Structure 1
């Protein structure tokens, strides 16, 4: 099954301004970018296409199109040969050419990393499964900001647990660390049978 590495919204302005968050938020963002750089290198070694999803914000948004905050972070190993899909909603498939890009390369399995965990990462993973794509969510290569009642660590842990085994028909999400993200086989997700019928 052909795979693609999908990197969502790793843009310069994705997090609130420096100094307004706990230091751990920025530290995790740095760590996630380093892991994504490693994933990009592995994807190239395996001949896996790399797709960057870039949020296009409206005027005044921190990801406003054409502003420095909108730019994809420069330390991810991106080249001119990599694909870029622009979006305007949490769902990377919503009113975009994402599906056409995947279809043109015969991709049926997405390896997903990026930001923000509870918004664009979660929504895109769920939508992908509903459209029949298998998904590997890279457990240690997605992140977000703190919320009023939850830390980034809690949000990431929650989504890694919640999404592992999420399925629709024959498609499912598995959550794996970066070191296992490109394993060849899509094995049965742990807990998938237990979760069946829990809708």
Structure 2
């Protein structure tokens, strides 16, 4: 039986923006998550895998409106001018962004997904990736969110790692992810 072709991965960094990361509510273990994302950027770059950074754009007047200081990607992300950047206005990174077409044009069929916020953009992007035929790897220790009135961030992250693993993504620790 012929083996399936090797996956062609890309790193997808979701919403690691000044206003979300350094806002009034701090992300759970934010520095550890940022460090893990930078490790994955370095590993992707060494392997020649594309790095794509997505940022959420709020409506005019919102804290993360286009062009505002809070809308900017974190300066601590080790991105270069060669890395692709996409702006979105919905939780799902694919809606209205051309991301799927960008990936298909480059024959990318696997996404390593990292960033913020677990229960919104990370969740919806993992689910959409599978629906669109992309294999998704969720770096289980490289996505985060904030505590909510109902649940602490750690519980939200643990729940999403368990829920998404298998049906929508393959959950792996940063140290286990290769490109």
The answer for the alignment partner of 1:7 in structure 2 is: 13
The answer for the alignment partner of 1:146 in structure 2 is: 147
Counterparts of 1:158-177 in structure 2, within 5 Å, are 158-167=159-168, 173-177=169-173
Unaligned runs of 5+ in 1: 168-172, 184-199
Contact 1:9–1:115 at 8 Å: present in 2 too? yes
Distance 2:111 2:28 in 1: 26
Length-normalised TM-score, structure 2: 0.92
Deviation >4 Å, runs of 4+: none
1:161 is paired with a residue of what secondary structure?
helix
CA RMSD, Structure 1 to Structure 2 (Å): 1.4
Contact 2:28–2:144 at 8 Å: present in 1 too? no
Contact 1:57–1:65 at 8 Å: present in 2 too? yes
Contact 2:28–2:145 at 8 Å: present in 1 too? no
Distance 2:62 2:30 in 1: 20
Length-normalised TM-score, structure 1: 0.83
1:123 is paired with a residue of what secondary structure?
helix
Q: May I ask how many residue pairs the two structures share in their alignment?
A: 173
Unaligned runs of 5+ in 2: 1-6
- Once the two structures are TM-superposed, the CA of residue 62 in structure 1 deviates from its matched residue by 2.2
Distance 2:21 2:51 in 1: 23
Which structure has more relative contact order (CA 8 Å, sep 6+)? It is: 2
